[in-house]
Amino acid sequence: MNMTLNKHLNLVGFLIAIGILASCAIAPHPNEKIIVGTWRPVKAEKIVDSSALQAAATLAGNSGQKQSKDGRPAGDGGASRKEATLDRLVQSEMRATMEILANHTAIKNFPGKPLHATWKMKGKGTRIVAKNVENKMKFTIEILEINKEQIVVIEHAPVGDVKITYERQF
């Protein structure tokens, strides 16, 4: 009798443990449902990391570089080219609607060249990690604000970061 009671208690304990684990299974974050849809950019701006700029200026100032007429180091090491690329990226972002689909794919409709990607929600709904389907390059999008009508994100690009405000298209 004692042996079957122990077996029954072990079985019940095992079933309770399975039930607890099943109830704690990873459920999609509520933000995953909110972001599904078509989004239109209403504002895009460069994000300038002032600490990185100060460090670069300090390095340039201490390296004995020649100064240009306006006081900046002559030969900025491609910084102006990078700045121009970032400006073009901001302009491009303003013309690109974004379609986020429930099947974890997305299309960013850049003029003349749509970008197809897959995406995953990370960081408890605060980040989207996307991968370009064509070249497998990954990029991260931080979600600053989110509601059913608007999303504010920071897109991290190799040339710099861009803060974009999107409104839902109906």
- Domains delineated in the chain: 36-50+79-169 (2.40.128.20)
- pLDDT, residue 165, reads 96
- pLDDT, residue 4, reads 75
103-133 per-position pLDDT tens digit: 999 999 988 899 999 999 998 889 999 999 9
- pLDDT, residue 14, reads 72
- Per-residue pLDDT averaged across 142-170, rounded? 92
DSSP E strands, the chain: 37-47, 97-100, 105-110, 113-122, 127-132, 138-146, 150-157, 160-169
CA distance 44 to 155: 10
pTM of the model: 0.68
Which residue type sits at 120?
Answer: K
- Cβ(5)–Cβ(13) below 8 Å: no
Give 46's contacts (C-beta < 8 A, 6+ positions apart): 86, 87, 90, 160, 161, 162, 163
- pLDDT, residue 3, reads 66
- pLDDT, residue 56, reads 47
Look at 7 and 94; give whichever has higher pLDDT.
Answer: 94
Query: What does the block give as tokens for 32?
Result: 């995953």
CA distance 104 to 108: 13
CA distance 161 to 130: 15
44-103 per-position pLDDT tens digit: 999 876 444 444 445 545 444 445 444 555 555 567 888 888 888 899 999 999 999 999
- pLDDT, residue 2, reads 66
